[in-house]
């Protein structure tokens, strides 16, 4: 759709023989004023665009954009703390910078928590509505402060065992949920991926070059500490994503069907494709209905793909609803209301927009 609708190029005409010509045509279109980023933002009809940002980012670009009277769109930062929660060889250096920047003079685990809370507030002050977490698994763990501090100190010394590192990371995911209850940031979670699985490819081309592989996740067990303590907390919004589609009907839909804090994350990454998206809708709707969804969340890095991706999602939703109408399980009038709720109302509600 990008080629035909944005660039006026027939996709059927693209081949090895026409590649150079197509490249030149696309380059010429991209050089026009109509394809300046702000023009595209307006022409795409984007209401809200969110970036993902390091907790220590000064967000200066966001402030400049927000203060620019010539731009009326809404672009917000997103708090992405993974690098400061994951125990690894750079953990001490990263936490040192975090403590120095936002720890209010405190040290150790207490200062670490204070610094994370302070940076979250800084993001909120600059327009953020959510905190995004790319954890390895959805496991959460509630530790007493003394045990958490002991694990934090061991991690900073580089002495934490693999089990201790996993326990600390699970505890910090719990702490991120607690902070979301306190400060109102929506918590998104997308676990379940083995990163950079092929050493030769990673060595040659670097990380994030196509060899990330999904694995099965256990949301029911992993989220239990968070849901027991915060699942019915007023104002807490948790949006779990997955690329293990077996958990949609077995775990995520029942969780969202009961806990008012949980909204089902839209199909993501490997599942962001027409057939998988239709399976998702069928898997979650009978248990959780139409109101417990995040709406379609477009995590593309290709700006020009945004209209096509949203169009695909809307067509899938329309297809599912049309089948229910054809089977006399839903009236056409109600289906017309639901499609608006799924496309527009759901993301506004889930992300507090």
What was the pLDDT predicted at 5? 83
Residue range 121-130, pLDDT digits in tens:
999 999 999 9
Is the Cβ–Cβ distance between 91 and 156 less than 8 Å?
yes
pLDDT higher than threshold 90 for residue 159: yes
Local structure of residue 126 (DSSP, 8 states): T
pLDDT-derived band at 230 (thresholds 50, 70, 90) equals very high
Is the Cβ–Cβ distance between 98 and 115 less than 8 Å?
yes
Asked whether the whole model's pTM tops 0.85, one would answer yes
Average pLDDT of the residues in 184-209: 94
pLDDT higher than threshold 90 for residue 6: no
Pairing of strands 74-76, 130-133: unpaired
Task: Tell me the residue length of the chain.
Answer: 353
Element counts in the chain: helices (H) and strands (E): 17, 7
Query: So where are the chain's domains?
Result: 1-35
Partners of 238 in beta bridges: 187, 262
- Identify the three-state secondary structure at position 75: strand
Convert 159-193 to b/e letters by CB count within 10 Å (16 or more is b). Answer: ebeeeebbbbbbbbbbbbbbbbbebebbbbbbbbb
Q: How far is CA 50 from CA 78, 301, 303, in A?
A: 6, 12, 12
Across 24-33, 163-172, 307-316, the highest mean pLDDT is recorded for 163-172
Percentage of residues in the chain with pLDDT exceeding 70?
100
Residue range 26-84, pLDDT digits in tens:
999 999 999 999 999 999 999 999 999 999 999 999 999 999 999 999 999 999 999 99
Element (DSSP H or E) covering residue 133: strand 130-133
Q: Say which residues have a Cβ less than 8 Å from residue 149's Cβ, sequence separation at least 6.
A: 108, 109, 110
Average pLDDT of the residues in 240-255: 96
Element (DSSP H or E) covering residue 229: helix 224-230
What was the pLDDT predicted at 299? 80
Report the chain's terminal Cα–Cα distance, integer Å. Answer: 28
Is the Cβ–Cβ distance between 251 and 245 less than 8 Å?
no
């Amino acid at each position: 759709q990008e080629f035909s609708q944005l660039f006026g190029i027939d996709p059927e005409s693209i081949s090895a023989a026409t590649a150079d010509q197509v490249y030149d045509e696309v380059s010429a279109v991209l050089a026009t004023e109509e394809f300046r980023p702000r023009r595209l933002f307006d022409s795409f009809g984007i209401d809200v665009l969110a970036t993902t940002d390091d907790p220590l980012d000064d967000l200066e670009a966001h402030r400049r954009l927000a203060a620019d009277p010539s731009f009326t769109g809404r672009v917000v930062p997103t708090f992405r703390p993974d690098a400061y929660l994951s125990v690894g060889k750079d953990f001490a250096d990263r936490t040192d910078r975090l403590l120095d920047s936002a720890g209010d003079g405190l040290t150790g685990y207490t200062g670490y928590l204070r610094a994370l809370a302070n940076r979250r507030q800084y993001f909120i002050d600059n327009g953020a509505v959510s905190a995004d977490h790319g954890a390895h698994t959805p496991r959460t763990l509630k530790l007493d402060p003394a045990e958490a501090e002991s694990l934090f100190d061991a991690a900073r010394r580089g002495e934490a065992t693999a089990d201790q590192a996993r326990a600390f990371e699970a505890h910090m995911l719990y702490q991120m949920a607690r902070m979301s209850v306190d400060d109102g940031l929506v918590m998104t979670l997308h676990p379940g991926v083995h990163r950079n699985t092929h050493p030769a490819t990673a060595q040659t081309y670097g990380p994030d070059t196509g060899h990330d592989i999904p694995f099965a996740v256990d949301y029911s067990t992993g989220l239990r500490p968070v849901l027991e303590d915060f699942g019915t907390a007023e104002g807490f919004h948790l949006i779990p994503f997955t690329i293990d589609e077996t958990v949609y009907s077995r775990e995520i839909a029942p969780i969202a069907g009961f806990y008012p804090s949980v909204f089902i994350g839209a199909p993501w990454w490997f599942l962001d494709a027409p057939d998988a998206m239709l399976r998702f809708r069928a898997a979650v709707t009978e248990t959780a209905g139409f109101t417990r969804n995040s709406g379609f969340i477009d995590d593309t890095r290709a700006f020009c793909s945004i209209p096509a991706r949203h169009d695909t999602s809307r067509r899938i939703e329309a297809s599912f609803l049309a089948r229910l109408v054809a089977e006399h399980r839903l009236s056409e009038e109600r289906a017309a209301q639901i499609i608006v709720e799924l496309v527009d109302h759901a993301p506004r509600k889930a992300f507090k927009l």
